[in-house]
Amino acid sequence: MRRFLVVAAVVFGAVSSAHAADMPALRGGFTEGLSHISVNWQGFYVGAQGSWGSQRSNVPGGFNSDMQSSFVPPSINSPPYHWPPLDMANQLNGGYGAFFGYNSQWDDVVVGLEGNYIHDNFRAKTTATGIQFAPDNVTVLTVTNSTATVKLPDFGSLRVRAGYMMGCFLPYVFLGAGIGEQTIQRTISASPAPVAPLWATDNNSKLIYGYTAGAGVDIQLIGGLFARAEYEYRRITANIESNINTVRFGLGYKF
Give the long-range contacts of residues 76-79, CB within 8 A, separation 24 or more. Answer: 78/141, 78/142, 78/192, 79/132, 79/141, 79/142
- What's the pLDDT score for residue 11? 36
| Percent of the chain at pLDDT exceeding 90 | 75
Rounded to a whole number, what is the distance in angstroms from the first to the last CA of the chain? 71
What would the mean pLDDT of 225-254 be, rounded to a whole number? 96
- What's the pLDDT score for residue 197? 80
Give me the DSSP letters along 134-163: -TTSSSEEEEEEEEEEEEEEEEEEEEEEEE
Closest CA to 81 of 128, 126, 132: 132
Closest CA to 58 of 182, 157, 189: 182
H/E stretch holding 60 reads: none
Domain boundaries, the chain: 60-152+180-209
Higher pLDDT, 34 or 126: 126
Higher pLDDT, 67 or 3: 67
Whether 255 and 249 have beta carbons less than 8 Å apart is answered as no
Whether 246 and 53 have beta carbons less than 8 Å apart is answered as yes
Give 37's pLDDT tier (boundaries 50, 70, 90). low
> Does pLDDT of 23 surpass 70?
no
> If you ran DSSP here, which 8-state letter would residue 52 be given?
E
| Distance, CA of 128 to CA of 148 (rounded, Å) | 9
| pTM for this predicted structure | 0.80
What does the angle CA 201 – CA 205 – CA 210 come to, to the nearest 5 degrees?
A: 135
Closest CA to 212 of 184, 245, 171: 245
- What's the pLDDT score for residue 6? 39
Give 75's pLDDT tier (boundaries 50, 70, 90). confident
Measured in degrees and rounded to the nearest 5, phi and psi for residue 13 equal -65, -40
| Distance, CA of 106 to CA of 110 (rounded, Å) | 6
Would you call 182 exposed, middle or buried from its count of C-beta atoms within 10 A (0-12, 13-18, 19+)?
buried
Whether 155 and 120 have beta carbons less than 8 Å apart is answered as yes
Closest CA to 238 of 216, 217, 209: 209
Amino acid (1-letter code) at residue 138: V
